[in-house]
Amino acid sequence: MTIRQHPTSGGTASPSDGPPLSGTETGGAAANGAASAGTALSDTVPGAAGDGTAGNGAAGNGARPPRLVGEGLTLAYDKRTIAEGLDVAVPDRSFTVIVGPNACGKSTLLRALARILKPAAGTVVLDGERIGAWPAKKLARTLGLLPQSSIAPEGITVADLVARGRYPHQGLLRQWSREDERVVAESMAATGVADLAERAVDELSGGQRQRVWIAMALAQQTPLLLLDEPTTYLDIAHQIEVLDLCADLHESGRTVVAVLHDLNHAARYATHLIALRDGRIAAEGAPGEVVTAELVREVFRLPCRVIEDPETGTPLVVPAARR
Amino acid sequence: MSSVPLGSPQVFHATSAQSPPRTAPPEEPAPRPSAAAARPPASRRSVRAAGLAVSVLLLLAVLVLSLAVGARPLSLGDAWRGLYDSGSPAYTVVHEMRLPRTLLGLLAGAALGLAGAVMQALTRNPLADPGLLGINAGAAAVVVTAISFLGIGSFTGFVWFAFAGAGAVAVLLYAVGGGRGATPARLALAGSALNAALFSYVNAVQLLDTASLDRMRFWTVGSLASAQTYTIERVAPFVLAGLVLALLLARPLNALAMGDDSARALGANPARTRVGAIAAVTLLCGAATAACGPIVFVGLMVPHFVRALTGPDLRWLLPYCAVLSPVLMLGADVLGRVVVRPSELQVGIVMVVLGGPVFLYFVRRPRRLGTRRRASTGAAPEVAAP
Amino acid sequence: MTGSSRYGVIRTPGGLSLRFRPRALVVAGGCLLLALALGVLLIGSGDFPMSPPDVVRTLLGNGAPADSLIVNQIRLPRVGTALAVGAALGLAGAIFQSLVRNPLGSPDMLGFSQGAATGVLAGIVLAGGGGLAVAGGAVGGGLLTGVLVYAVAGRHGAHGQRLILVGVGVAAILTGVNGYLLTRAKITDAARAVLWLTGSLDGRDWGDSGPLLVALAVLGPVVLVFCGRALRMLEMGDDAAHGLGVPIERVRLILLAAAVLLASFAAAAAGPVAFVALSAPQLARRLTRTAGPNLLPAACMGAALMVAADWVAQRAFPGHQLPVGVVTGLLGGGYLVWLLVTERRTGRI
């Protein structure tokens, strides 16, 4: 089940135009009922992948080549090596979730995929081109990132913060087009923060704030979106709210990659799961196939049973009793 | 209740040595990589005691060195004879110059090192140094005011002003350091800003009064050269009082290291401890600054070095600091007397040249300063609205 | 019209668009007017007083020849220097505070002013130099400090915490070195050096402020026009800015270099005038009430503050002129204490 195929990297024109969102059905658990607003989502789906590579690739059914690939990645901070010789491929149009115990290199991998961390060896390839060779702004129009630590400038309003997501689409003489205005409005509507537009970000609750940051990433209008622990520090209702939002984004045609702590959340929402341990991939594939008691024991050193989630039928990890 | 540990986990670890032998605690992975930490607790305690004894010997050696080295070098025998034999040719040099200077270095060094250690514990901030944070500058500013505007010239007169200045800055800094999310960098920056403000004031006063400029420009770099027996007699009681107070605070400060709530849970009184600690810092810094001018980095370097030897337990850390800080201070002073002979380099300058790179090294070392990830980020719900 | 309620937008049919904040422009304009008005007042005051209309007439070239000499040769250069120094410090302060994300992160706290001072003291004490040695020492010292801080902090560390700590350490070291150089000087040189260290506008002519004006004219547009928006993105953290396509290291290097240059040239012209760089951006942002670096308002506010401080310095004690740095130091020190006490609750300091 560990698919670790090397993609044939070469000018593979990628499929681009997102299919319109077909009546988003948010799972009944949406917390404040804010995560829906599906109609707006379909409009925010970027029309073009990258910058003019709008070639209508053969609409592969399931066999699309992955757009974002890491080959032989060695990741290190200063002298400390986190991972060596890691091969990952993010399937196109997937909701890929990276899980693993603390300090296994999840976030590091995501940072490398987002070009924030330069790999010590190996390359990250996006749409057939080395990610380091992409111009910064062009990359930012293709690959969006919600970092773990972002700082809301003091006193900034929600609308202003979301508007900053338009930066890669702007220029010195093109500072605020009608398009920018429309996308910002849609992004806020899609994340359910439109009502908060003129509020200061500092005043919001954790869940609201996280949705604002996601709205900013959304306003970037990227076909790929990387999220580093989007649910950390949120209570359970807000976690589900944010994850539902991510699922909506995925269904509207985006490729979403997220680092999550909660294995059950990962199993419920992911279409593709990557389990890391000690900087190597322990398992990879659809959650229904990958999440097993053996895997959890191997990756998290946790004895457990895996049962079927009564709500969704996805695997549900239940830690073993103390005896 | 005598040996009930009030301290950090490391303290529990250390004091468990006093419980009956053979109940050595299950080995916890010590968070510190130092060699001492890896030893079992019982021998660790004796290592610490032995280390302290070695430190005292080191201090004695530096004291002798400080008596012997200078513009006119003396042999050890001459220096020794000069100390007690009034007929010896070295008697005047030793008694008029070297002895006061050495004693002042001893007092000021101990004071600044201890003050630094207490500040670091109080603010839970590894970069707290009375000089760096502006406490010495506060004392300096008020002293300069006293000299220039109030015409106060005697040490007894202005030592009280030094206390006032040091105390005011200590309270202000504590207020900043106790604020929510005050990271080492923020506190250091607040201190740097205070330093700048106070020194610009000192500059301004000097500018209006050239005569005092001539005197004060030597005082504001920090020097032991002008030490007199009289000054020592005046400064010693304050330093000793501060020393005793600081050592008494070791145990409650240990408890405070884990946060107010944990300290309270352990039966300590955070408010009283804090008042005591600020009083100790004020006494120590005020006295030291009044006697030899603002000196930076002693209070930073010595506790850091000592922490690597003893761990964070203040009951060991503070005595070590009290002994080893004068070693650094006198060593720097001796160095300053030697390097540019026949002229001299003020001890404050030597300290800056030695301490600055050490500071930058600490800053560059990753992790140590705990730039907490996610701390005060907009995305974290740390300041979430109700 | 989300996101634009506080913004004005100009769009051309060709698809070009400009966005601006009316409030920020009003604040900047107001500060500039205030600075100019105070400048006129300052030019008109002194041993040979002139009414403001006379001053304006003279400045426009229609005044009496005697007036013209005093205004154009003596007083205008001084006021012009004050305006330029204030603007440069305000701009440099705004850049630094934004880069290190701390309201106290101004060049005088991070070692750059001290570095400029070291250069000047070396010039005065070691070379016994005059005006040129002083100016060259200031710029050289400031730049060297900039390189040192950047090198020690490391390419990836030139932000927030690390930059602050390295800057503070370098500032402490250089303060000690400056003290030492001062003890090495003859007392007359020492007095001159202390006057310079405090920051003074006495007897400044266009020769002193010329390099600064050139630096402002070159660096101002670079910073305001080309880096302003990227700097705003950097405030959200490196990762976020990176995700938005800001080439963070390049932008930061340009901005740091520009800020260090501005601070150094300002120091060369008038000495390391304390606290203008710290307080101008803070005051400006309080008035504009918007997040972001507020570069232009900060520069205008700096100019206004500087002229106002010079006015106070000349008038506070009749018959006794203080150096302008004493005034900014005292006002700034008070402001600093206020800032420390009020802002600590928000955890920003």
Q: Convert the pLDDT of each residue in B200-244 to its tens digit.
A: 788 777 777 767 667 667 777 777 877 778 888 888 999 999 999
CA distances from B292 to A42, B69, B125 (A): 73, 20, 26
Q: Which domain holds residue A155?
A: 148-221
Residue B11 lies in a domain: no
DSSP track, C127-181: H---HHHHHHHHHHHHHHHHHHHHHHH-GGG-SHHHHHHHHHHHHHHHHHHHHHH
The CATH number covering residue B254 comes to 1.10.3470.10
pTM of the entire structure? 0.81
User: How many whole angstroms separate alpha carbon B242 and alpha carbon B170?
Assistant: 14
Interface of C with B in 42-71 (CB under 8 A): none
CB of B64 closer than 8 Å to CB of B331: no
pLDDT band of residue B334 (cuts 50, 70, 90) is very high
Q: C344: which chain B residues are within 8 Å (Cβ-Cβ)?
A: 175-176, 178-180, 182
Residue A33 lies in a domain: no
Q: Any idea of the CA torsion for C70, C302, C260, C169, to the nearest 10 degrees?
A: 120
Q: Angle CA(B244)–CA(B246)–CA(B251) in degrees, nearest 5?
A: 110
User: How many whole angstroms separate alpha carbon B385 and alpha carbon A208?
Assistant: 10
Q: In this predicted model, what pLDDT tens digit does every residue of C255-273 receive, in sequence order?
A: 999 999 999 999 999 988 8
Is C186 exposed, middle or buried, given 0-12, 13-18 or 19+ CB atoms closer than 10 A?
exposed
Q: What is the pLDDT of residue A254?
A: 92
A315-319 and A272-277 strand pairing: unpaired
Which residues is C78 bridged to in the sheet?
Answer: none
pLDDT band of residue A9 (cuts 50, 70, 90) is very low
Question: Is C286 an 8 Å CB contact of chain A?
Answer: no
Token readout for A181 is 């205005």
Q: In this predicted model, what pLDDT tens digit does every residue of A119-173 receive, in sequence order?
A: 999 999 999 899 989 998 899 999 999 988 788 887 889 999 999 999 999 888 8
Same domain, A76 and A137: yes
Chain Cα centroid distance, residue B255: 20
CB of A254 closer than 8 Å to CB of A225: yes
Same domain, A128 and A160: no
Sequence-distant (≥ 6) Cβ neighbours of residue B12 within 8 angstroms: B5
Token readout for B319 is 């005595």
Report, as an integer, the average pLDDT of B115-123: 88
Q: What is the pLDDT of residue C304?
A: 96
DSSP track, B21-38: TT-PPPPP--S---HHHH
Residue A241 lies in a domain: yes
Name the more confident of A228 and C65: A228
How high is the mean pLDDT of chain B? Answer: 76
If one counts the domains in chain A, the total is 2
Same domain, A81 and A107: yes
Residue B378 lies in a domain: no
If one counts the domains in chain B, the total is 1
Three-state secondary structure readout of B284-343: HHHHHHHHHCCCCCHHHHHHHHHHHHHCCCHHHHHHHHHHHHHHHHHHHHHHHHHHCCCC
Closest CA to A225 of A172, A276, A165, A301: A165
Option in B366, B373, B383 nearest A202 (CB): B383
CA distances from A259 to A218, A225, A227 (A): 17, 12, 6
Question: Is C250 an 8 Å CB contact of chain A?
Answer: no
Option in A153, A159, A197 nearest C236 (CB): A153
Q: C225: which chain A residues are within 8 Å (Cβ-Cβ)?
A: 172
Report, as an integer, the average pLDDT of A245-257: 92
Residue B89 lies in a domain: yes
Option in A115, A139, A150 nearest C236 (CB): A150
Question: Which chain C residue's Cα is nearest to A164?
Answer: C233
Q: What count of CB pairs under 8 Å joins B to C?
A: 189
Q: Which domain holds residue B271?
A: 40-366
User: How many whole angstroms separate alpha carbon C119 and alpha carbon C139?
Assistant: 8
pLDDT band of residue B245 (cuts 50, 70, 90) is very high
Sequence-distant (≥ 6) Cβ neighbours of residue A243 within 8 angstroms: A230, A231, A265, A268, A269
Check whether B292 has a pLDDT greater than 80. Answer: yes
Question: What's the gap in Å between the CA of C213 and the closest CA on chain A?
Answer: 25
Residue A8 lies in a domain: no
A129-130 and A121-126 strand pairing: antiparallel
Strands (DSSP E) found in C24-76: none
Q: Any idea of the CA torsion for B44, B49, B51, B53, to the nearest 10 degrees?
A: -170
Q: What is the pLDDT of residue B81?
A: 80
Residue C22 lies in a domain: no
Name the more confident of C211 and B11: C211
Residue type, B346: Q
Question: What's the gap in Å between the CA of B271 and the closest CA on chain C?
Answer: 19
The CATH number covering residue C146 comes to 1.10.3470.10
User: How many whole angstroms separate alpha carbon A211 and alpha carbon A217?
Assistant: 10
DSSP track, B70-93: SSS---HHHHHHHHH-TTSTTHHI
Q: C236: which chain B residues are within 8 Å (Cβ-Cβ)?
A: 378
If one counts the domains in chain C, the total is 1
Same domain, A272 and A131: yes
Question: What's the gap in Å between the CA of C227 and the closest CA on chain B?
Answer: 23
Option in C4, C6, C15 nearest A181 (CB): C4
Question: Which chain C residue's Cα is nearest to B350?
Answer: C176
DSSP conformational letter for C320 = B
The residue of A175, A191, A212 whose CB has the most chain C CBs within 10 angstroms, and thus the best one to mutate to test that interface, is A175
Q: What is the pLDDT of residue B3?
A: 37
Closest CA to A291 of A279, A307, A310, A312: A307
Question: What's the gap in Å between the CA of B371 and the closest CA on chain A?
Answer: 12
Closest CA to C125 of C74, C189, C178: C189
User: How many whole angstroms separate alpha carbon B363 and alpha carbon A180?
Assistant: 42
Closest CA to A71 of A162, A145, A132: A132
Q: What is the pLDDT of residue A85?
A: 87
User: How many whole angstroms separate alpha carbon A277 and alpha carbon A282?
Assistant: 6
Q: Which domain holds residue C263?
A: 32-344
Interface of B with A in 367-386 (CB under 8 A): 373-374, 376-381, 383-385
Q: B212: which chain C residues are within 8 Å (Cβ-Cβ)?
A: none
CB of B246 closer than 8 Å to CB of B284: yes
User: How many whole angstroms separate alpha carbon A83 and alpha carbon A76?
Assistant: 7
Residue B377 lies in a domain: no
Question: What's the gap in Å between the CA of B180 and the closest CA on chain A?
Answer: 15
Residue B9 lies in a domain: no
Q: What is the pLDDT of residue B155?
A: 67
Q: What is the pLDDT of residue A152?
A: 86
Residue B48 lies in a domain: yes
User: Chains with ≥3 Cβ pairs under 8 A against B?
Assistant: A, C
Q: B383: which chain A residues are within 8 Å (Cβ-Cβ)?
A: 202
Question: What's the gap in Å between the CA of B3 and the closest CA on chain C?
Answer: 38
Residue type, B213: L
Token readout for B43 is 């021998």
The residue of C168, C174, C275, C342 whose CB has the most chain B CBs within 10 angstroms, and thus the best one to mutate to test that interface, is C168
Inter-chain touch B197–C154, beta carbons under 8 Å: no
Token readout for C110 is 């991070």
Inter-chain touch A136–C247, beta carbons under 8 Å: yes
Inter-chain touch C237–A147, beta carbons under 8 Å: yes
Residue whose tokens read 């995560």: A35
Q: B179: which chain C residues are within 8 Å (Cβ-Cβ)?
A: 344-345, 347, 349
Residue whose tokens read 């200077």: B101
User: How many whole angstroms separate alpha carbon B381 and alpha carbon A55?
Assistant: 43
- Cβ–Cβ contacts within 10 Å for residue B181, how many? 15
Radius of gyration, CA atoms only, chain C: 20
User: How many whole angstroms separate alpha carbon B99 and alpha carbon B103?
Assistant: 6
Interface of C with A in 90-109 (CB under 8 A): 101
CB of A285 closer than 8 Å to CB of A315: no
Reading phi first (left if > 0) and then psi (alpha if -120 to 50, else beta), residue B20 is in beta
The residue of C106, C170, C175, C342 whose CB has the most chain B CBs within 10 angstroms, and thus the best one to mutate to test that interface, is C175
CB of B348 closer than 8 Å to CB of B293: yes
Q: In this predicted model, what pLDDT tens digit does every residue of C126-185 receive, in sequence order?
A: 777 667 788 888 999 999 999 999 888 876 665 667 888 888 889 889 988 888 888 888
Residue B372 lies in a domain: no
Question: What's the gap in Å between the CA of B228 and the closest CA on chain C?
Answer: 21
Q: Angle CA(C272)–CA(C276)–CA(C280) in degrees, nearest 5?
A: 155
CB of A228 closer than 8 Å to CB of A147: yes
Option in B190, B220, B349 nearest C349 (CB): B190
Sequence-distant (≥ 6) Cβ neighbours of residue C43 within 8 angstroms: C50, C55, C59, C71, C75, C76, C79
CB of B221 closer than 8 Å to CB of C180: yes
Token readout for C19 is 């966005």
Closest CA to A68 of A255, A269, A310, A286: A255
Q: What is the pLDDT of residue A139?
A: 92
The CATH number covering residue A126 comes to 3.40.50.300
Report, as an integer, the average pLDDT of B323-341: 91
What percentage of chain B carries pLDDT values higher than 70? 79
